[in-house]
Amino acid sequence: MKLLIVDDNPINQKFLYYSLKKYYEIETADNGLEAVEMLEKNSYDVVLMDLSMPVMDGAEATLRIRKSINAKNKHVPIIFVTTNDFEHDRTRCMKNGGSDYLIKPVDINELLNSINIQLNLRQEIF
């Protein structure tokens, strides 16, 4: 299983990487635009997406991924992992195609559960 972590904060990237590396092959992106470009070239099973990032935020990146005709991962589960605990942010992210929305600091068991749920849903659909 291949996972993409999208976060501009290297500490958050490392936390997620070291918490999940025994379960997944992991790659990272530093912003939404980089994530969109990576998703056009590579296949991933799950994306963990921060919301607030420079260049392009996670909600905009998710919308571009969902609307892209070239993306290999148009239907990949995108789980937001963010500090933004506001209903309008959650609504925007989910309307743009997010699969789940978790608040940092995230409990790794909660995150693993969300990933498993999304992977199971994807298997049922596809």
**Domain boundaries in the chain?**
2-125
Confidence of residue 19 (pLDDT cuts 50, 70, 90): very high
Confidence of residue 71 (pLDDT cuts 50, 70, 90): low
Q: What percent of the chain has pLDDT over 90?
A: 89
Q: What per-residue confidence (pLDDT) applies to 123?
A: 75
The pTM of the whole model exceeds 0.85: yes
Among 37-46, 67-76, 115-124, whose mean pLDDT is lowest? 67-76
Q: Are 57 and 7 in contact (CB under 8 A)?
A: no
Q: What per-residue confidence (pLDDT) applies to 126?
A: 54
pLDDT at 116 over 60: yes
> What is the pLDDT averaged over residues 104-126?
90
Burial string for 64-103 (b: 16+ CB within 10 Å, else e) reads bbbeeeebebeebbbbbbbebeeeebbebbbebbbbbbbe
Confidence of residue 122 (pLDDT cuts 50, 70, 90): confident
Cis peptide before 10 (omega within 30 of 0): no
The mean pLDDT value of the chain amounts to 94
Indicate the class that CATH gives domain 2-125: alpha beta
